[in-house]
Structure 1
Amino acid sequence: MILVVGLSTRMLVQSIHNSHDVFAMDVFGDRDIRDKVCGWKNIGNANYEIDEQKFLKVFKEVVREFSPSAWTHASGFEGKYNLITEAEKCLVHYGLSEDKIQRIRRPLSFFEALERLNIKHPETFVDKFDVASSDGWLRKDFDTAGGLGIVRNNVSKLISDGNYFQKEIKGKPLSVFFLVEHERIIIFGYCENIYEKKYNSPYFYQGLIGPVKLSIEVENSILKIIKKIVEEFNLMGLNGLDFILTEEEVFVIELNPRPTGAMEIFEKLLNKSILEMHCNAFINVKKKKVSEKKIKFFENNIFDYKIIGTKIIYSDSNILLNLDCLRQLESLPFCRDIPNVKNFKIGDPICSIMVMSSNITQVKSLLSNASLTIADLIQKTTKTLN
């Protein structure tokens, strides 16, 4: 049995439930995972975040009662990486240790490493409490996810160890999804990251479209960057590297050393459990210099496949979903992450959608139409709260 943990575990459960018994611990308990798991436990608080005390208590109870062989995680541990160390005392972890993650998710160590490796990134201040002007600068926070920690205007103070200032640059926001094994680095492909100006964030994460095709020159630059960071941070398993592409230049933004939202796009295209590959990477781990690791694409003909778009639907008001609404969401073929909770505040994720077509323009149109369908359904069946 594999124990999967995170804010939402639907993507992890969907990936591995056909080959393993799965127990899930998350915040939402989505309706579309309940028939795929041996059990589920809530580890969330009223703000739909992982509650540290509840997590540790429930984790130990599940390990004691169900005896899973190992655990792995999705997002939700940002700023709470100490929980990983505590959980590793009880159960084998298919993921990086807290120490390794902290090197990646602390801006000082991460951007110092990029400088040393001659990897381009937007101009960044991580050790100053003031910048001369907030114009053209973003304050970011590695202890958040989804763009929640990004602020643009009237900001001149750093608040926590995860905060840093970064010069805003214009370009296409992209990500590369890859797996590090003991003998090779497997590139699954590239996605376009979709953001909107929403909920006081200039870059609020909405979803992904992929795979997207890049020039040979850009691709070669990215592969060189990946080899450098794999060696520098001793990466293993699944990773997502976010970057901005300006013409033919690549500027690294951040690295997420865990399964990211791109996983379900490439799983859908390749009909392969990528999470199982992630787990096997840790089962079979051996020390091997990165220079000896072969870097390859999982599928060279990935662009012969369809293009997939995903999008998270957030609540734009304080609402109470009724059972009829939840059932209708379940009936929509493009809808996933169907909630098992009914109360939502502004900015809370309600569900997500996935569409597929032969070109990016059509995918964007399908995403827009699906979003309108869900918005209309919620408006007709839902009670708005004050």
Structure 2
Amino acid sequence: MERPFLLVAHSARMLAQSLARAGWPAVALDRFADLDTRSACRAWYRVPERDGRFDPQALEEKLSLALAECRPQAWVYGSGMEALPELIAKFSERCPLFGNGAQVVRICTDPRAFFPWLDRLGIPYPEVSWTAPAAASGWLVKRGGEGGRGVSVYRGENGDGYYQRRLAGAVYTLAFLAGMGQVWWHGFNTLYQADYNTRFPFLFAGAINRADLSREVAGQVIGYARRLSRALDLRGLHGLDFMLDNGVPKVLELNPRPGAALGIWDTAWPEGLLAAQVRVCRGEPVAGFLPVPVKGFKIVFAPQAVQIPAAWRWPSWCADRTPPETMVPAGAPVCSVNASGRTVAEVEAQLAAREAWVIKQLWKEKKCNRLGSA
């Protein structure tokens, strides 16, 4: 029996499904152990969380258990591990890593290291301040954390983190595959953010695999990715977040691992993009990338606490499906909804309708359950 790949991420579902396209077995460690992840993996381990992140001690214990029980041939990490470079370094000594090592992760997650790198490479970014600005408007406070969790509007408070000029407009990501000093594939996304949550007003809420960018702007951003790839010896799939400032693309951050938009681009390579990452990390060139139709997804957050009914049936266009009888607290993800079509407008209309349907039906079920138990 072929030894599996070990996947570690807050949500390992997209990684596992991508590997399955190549026919490669997977073992997953993540926070949710949703139905999709379970069905795509040979084995799965649910890791407890602490304040919406991995509990480091529990993660280390689960990683050691998975290495002993499943004997993976290699491992790949996704979201959540960038906050734990020490664990990346530690477990890369025990199991081969297909992705960026701890040193690259430290650079990408430490603003005092990352922005000087951008300066050296001539890559622009919104103005940064390490001390609280005198003006209370026009700035963001950034305290770290993936998916916009550590970002808030600056209101004159002092605290940890750093400060960055707030730009107006859409947030974009260049998803790209790097290795051996070059960029092998790329695709542009427009990101969705959830603004209902006062604690996390810039929470990542989904993406669509199209972006309204000029050819000149797109070329500049691809150039940024190439410079970073050569300078940092990047390996694998990445996400380069940026915004436009008077027509100039300015970088917000570099995510040094596969991002949540993997699923809307995965058919760009016949075996799936994670297989392409593995091959590039082995030093093998990859070619034969394919066009991808307009695709998008949105994360559905619970407007109020809800328990998934025992007999609940998820529609086929749902993913990250929470197991039956799970209690989902207010503000937590319930699932994601997916759509594809010919145009951006068509896909976004489908996403809005499907998100509304899930919320309406779950709330209807909740009311019915409450009435039935009265």
Q: Work out whether the TM-score is over 0.5.
A: yes
SS in structure 2 at match of 1:151:
strand
Structure 1 match to 2:140: 138
Residue 352 of structure 2 aligns with an amino acid whose one-letter code is S
**In structure 1, distance between residues paired with 2:36 and 2:284:** 33
Paired letter, 1:240: G
- Could you tell which deviates more after superposition, 145-154 or 74-83? 74-83
1:223 matches 2:222: yes
- The corresponding residue for 1:109 is 113
Name the CA distance, whole Å, in 2 between partners of 1:158 and 1:167: 17
Pairing 1:339–2:342 present = no
Q: Is the 8 A contact 2:268 2:289 kept in 1?
A: no
Q: Which residue of 2 aligns with 1:92?
A: 96
Q: 1:343 Cα shift?
A: 1.6
Bigger drift between 204-213 and 375-384 goes to: 375-384
- The whole-number CA distance in structure 2 between the counterparts of 1:148 and 1:194 is 14
Distance 1:249 1:4 in 2: 36
Q: What's the TM-score, normalizing by structure 2?
A: 0.90
User: What secondary structure, in the 3-state scheme, does the structure 1 residue paired with 2:171 have?
Assistant: strand
Where in structure 2 are the equivalents of 1:306-325 lying within 5 Å?
306-325=293-312
1:291 counterpart residue number: none
Distance in structure 1 (CA, Å) of the matches to 2:201 and 2:47: 29
Describe the SS at the equivalent of 1:170: coil
Partners of 2:309 and 2:85 lie apart in 1 by 36
CA contact (8 A) 2:302 2:359 kept: no
Q: What is the aligned length?
A: 363
Are the equivalent residues in 1 in contact too, given 2:319–2:338 (CA < 8 A)? Answer: yes
Contact 2:104–2:256 at 8 Å: present in 1 too?
no
Amino acid at match of 2:7: V
The gaps in structure 2 that reach 5 residues or longer are none
Q: Distance in 1 between matches of 2:127 and 2:49?
A: 36
The separation in 2 between residues aligned to 1:199 and 1:352, in whole angstroms, is: 17
- In the other structure, the counterpart of 2:163 is 165
Which deviates more, 108-117 or 78-87? 78-87
2:83 and 2:180 mapped to 1: Cα distance? 28
Contact 1:104/1:233 (<8 A) preserved? no
Give the counterpart of 1:83 among 80, 87, 105.
87
Change (3 A) 1:257 1:225: same
Shift of 1:205: 1.2
Give distance in 2, aligned partners of 1:35 and 1:344: 21
Equivalent residue number for residue 157 of structure 2: 156
Question: How far apart, in 2, do the equivalents of 1:269 and 1:68 lie?
Answer: 26
1:223-267 CA-to-partner distances (Å, cap 9, x unmatched) read 221122112322111111010024531011110010012211111
Rounded Cα–Cα distance in structure 2 between residues aligned with 1:36 and 1:223:
33
Other-structure match for 1:54: 58
**In structure 2, C-alpha distance between the alignment counterparts of 1:198 and 1:232, rounded to whole Å:** 39
What do residues 115-136 of structure 1 show as CA deviations (whole Å, max 9, x unaligned)?
22221111111x32x2212211
Within the candidate set 26, 30, 37, 2:34 is matched to 30
1:358 counterpart = 2:342:
yes
User: Partners in 2 of 1:67 and 1:317 — Cα distance?
Assistant: 41
Counterpart of 1:193 in structure 2 is 191
Alpha-carbon separation, structure 2, partners of 1:297 and 1:247: 36
Residues 297-354 of structure 1, C-alpha deviations (whole Å, 9 max, x = no match): 945xx3xx521111111112222222123xx22xx12100111371222221111111
Corresponding residue for residue 118 of structure 1 = 122
Give the 3 Å change call, closer, same or farther, for CA 22–107 of structure 1 in structure 2.
Answer: same
- Distance, in Å, in 1 between the alignment partners of 2:236 and 2:335 is 27
Report the equivalent of 1:289.
none
Contact in 2 for aligned 1:237/1:279 (Cα 8 Å)? yes
Equivalent residue for 2:174, pick from 168, 173, 176: 176
Supply the distance in 1 between the matched residues of 2:341 and 2:309 (Cα, whole angstroms). Answer: 32
Instruction: State the secondary structure of the residue aligned to 1:322.
Output: coil
Is the 1:147–1:203 Cα contact (8 Å) retained in structure 2? yes
What amino acid sits opposite 2:170 in the alignment? K
Equivalent residue letter for 1:104: C
Task: Classify 1:221/1:77 alpha carbon distance in 2 versus 1 (closer, same or farther; 3 Å).
Answer: same
How far residue 269 of structure 1 moved from its aligned partner, in angstroms, is 5.4
Structure-1 separation of matches of 2:17 and 2:66 = 20
Q: Which residue of 2 aligns with 1:147?
A: 148
Match of 2:195, SS? strand
With over 3 angstroms needed to count, the CA separation of the structure-2 counterparts of 1:280 and 1:268, relative to structure 1, is closer
Task: Give how far 1:183 is off.
Answer: 6.1
**Alpha-carbon deviation of 1:94?**
1.2
Q: Over the residues paired in the alignment, what is the CA RMSD in angstroms?
A: 2.3
| 8 Å CA contact retained: 1:28, 1:48 | no
C-alpha deviations, 1:124-163, integer Å up to 9, x for none? 11x32x2212211000123x1111111104243241xxx2
Amino acid at match of 2:191: N
Alignment of 1:154-303 (within 5 A): 154-159=155-160, 163-182=161-180, 184-200=182-198, 201-212=200-211, 214-246=213-245, 248-268=247-267, 271-284=270-283, 298-299=289-290, 302=291
- TM-score w.r.t. length of structure 1: 0.88
The CA distance in 1 between the partners of 2:271 and 2:171, in whole Å, is: 26
* CA distance, structure 1, for counterparts of residue 96 and residue 269 of structure 2: 28
Q: Are 1:5 and 2:8 counterparts?
A: yes
Residue 40 of structure 1 aligns to a residue whose secondary structure is strand
The structural deviation recorded for 1:196 is 3.1
